[in-house]
């Protein structure tokens, strides 16, 4: 019988976890496959670890991995995927925003052999602050214009994939992980399963607006060189523009003997160009900072405690 490994990153999810656990067990008991539930505690401080240890103690199918601190959701997913033993892997949140009831359909798509991945796609953003939805839409529009990989609007990290795909994703060691981009970059046939957004069942979201904004910028920098190209083209344009205005000034001076007046406009131009230069310098700096982080080659995660032997503790 095929085994499905379900990776669940958890950060301060004490309240949501028992509800999630009951729901996923209910769904899994109706499915015709073996399974392991890999809960990754991402350095929670609210007693999540105790809840998870409790699950692992009473349920053999539960694997508990406790990271040594908060490494972030991407690292937690990576830690989980690095330690799967199943033939298929799933990744999902534990706040029931990724409905476990979709698992059978997603697994069926992948196990039929027709698809290598099945991913949930929100068809609305019900329950989300309008300003967040607005920026999210703009982000996906912009991202798809400038990136080589397509990032589907509303795509969640909720996915089922074959073991092959999971292994390939784990073999991508880049530090700056943007899963939606990575899943799209690796290719393979993906089935998109639409669903209506659910609000989180308990607890609070870990993502503030600015947090998400930073994540979006990271996504762009990790998957596109277009900002650097924009900088070059803009520099070229400014040079051309300066050349033409210079010609105009010379002609006015020589032919019409008109001196050019106005230091205010000069200051404005200098400040404007200074601003643009600093902006692009910052953009380049962002790429260099990423490069610096990658070059250190530090592990993505460190597992401090686990309920299973023989796991990959650092990776
Ligand atoms: N999460 C995590 N580490 C973090 C932040 C979040 O493992 O540093 C987990 C969290 O427990 C949840 C999932 O990532 O299972 C998604 O987080 P959340 O629901 O807060 O994000 P949202 O659904 O609001 O985008
Ligand atoms: Mg959530």
Out of 23, 93, 98, give the residue to mutate to test ligand 1, the one with the largest number of ligand atoms within 8 Å of its CB: 93
> How many Cα atoms within 13 Å fall on the side-chain side of residue 123?
5
- Give the pLDDT score at 85: 93
Check the CA dihedral 140-143-145-151 and report its sign.
negative
Identify the CA nearest to 122 among candidates 99, 156, 157: 156
Q: Taking the model in full, what pTM does it have?
A: 0.78
Q: What's residue 262's pLDDT? A: 73
Closest approach atom of ligand 1 to CA 10? 11
Pocket-testing residue among 6, 7, 8, 9, ligand 1, by greatest number of atoms within 8 A of Cβ: 9
Q: What is the pLDDT of residues 68-98, one digit of tens each?
A: 999 989 999 999 999 999 899 999 999 888 8
**For 226-269, what is each residue's pLDDT tens digit?**
888 888 888 888 888 888 888 888 888 888 877 667 777 788 78
Residue 41 in contact with ligand 1 by CB distance below 6 A: no
72's torsion region: left (phi>0), alpha (psi -120 to 50) or beta?
A: left
Half-sphere exposure for 224 (CA within 13 Å, toward CB): 22
Q: Is 24 in the pocket of ligand 1 (CB under 6 A)?
A: no
Mean pLDDT over residues 160-165, rounded? Answer: 94
Tokens linked to 229:
């190209």
pLDDT grade, residue 294 (50/70/90)? confident
Q: What is the mean pLDDT of the chain?
A: 86
Residue 97 Cβ contacting ligand 1 at under 6 Å: yes
Classify 291 as helix, strand or coil. helix
Instruction: Tell me the CA–centroid distance for residue 96 and ligand 2, in Å.
Output: 7
Does 293 or 127 have the greater pLDDT score? 293
What pLDDT does 213 receive? 82
pLDDT range class, residue 129, cuts 50, 70, 90: confident
Examine the pLDDT at 10 and tell me if it is beyond 90. yes
Residues 6+ apart with CB under 8 A from 258: 252
Rounded percentage of the chain residues whose pLDDT exceeds 70: 98
Residue, of 260 and 115, whose pLDDT is higher: 115
């Amino acid at each position: 019988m095929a085994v499905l490994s379900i990776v669940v990153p958890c950060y301060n999810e004490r309240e949501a976890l028992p509800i999630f656990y009951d729901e996923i067990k209910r769904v899994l008991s109706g499915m015709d496959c073996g399974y392991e539930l890999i809960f990754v505690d991402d350095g929670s401080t609210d007693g999540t670890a105790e809840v998870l240890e409790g699950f692992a103690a009473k349920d053999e199918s539960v694997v508990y991995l406790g990271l040594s601190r908060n490494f972030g959701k991407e690292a937690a997913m990576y830690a989980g995927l690095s330690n799967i033993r199943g033939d298929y892997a799933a990744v999902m949140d534990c706040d029931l925003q990724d409905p476990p009831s979709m698992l059978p359909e997603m697994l069926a798509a992948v196990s039929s052999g027709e698809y290598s991945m099945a991913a949930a796609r929100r068809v609305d953003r019900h329950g989300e602050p309008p300003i967040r939805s607005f920026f999210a839409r703009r982000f996906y529009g912009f991202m798809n214009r400038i990136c080589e990989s397509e990032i589907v609007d509303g795509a969640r990290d909720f996915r089922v994939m074959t073991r092959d795909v999971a292994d390939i994703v784990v073999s991508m060691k880049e530090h700056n992980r943007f899963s939606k981009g990575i899943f799209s970059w690796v290719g393979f046939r993906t089935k998109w399963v639409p669903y209506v957004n659910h609000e989180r069942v308990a607890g609070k979201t870990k993502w503030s607006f600015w947090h998400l904004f930073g994540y979006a910028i990271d996504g762009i920098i990790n998957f596109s060189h277009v900002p650097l190209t924009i900088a070059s083209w803009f520099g070229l344009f400014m040079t051309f523009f300066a050349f033409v205005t210079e010609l105009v000034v010379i002609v006015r001076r020589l032919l019409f003997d008109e001196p050019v007046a106005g230091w205010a406009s000069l200051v404005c131009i200098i400040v404007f160009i200074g601003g643009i230069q600093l902006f692009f310098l910052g953009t380049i700096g962002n790429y260099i900072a990423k490069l610096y982080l990658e070059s250190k080659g530090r592990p993505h995660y460190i597992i401090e405690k686990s309920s299973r032997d023989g796991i990959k503790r650092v990776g």
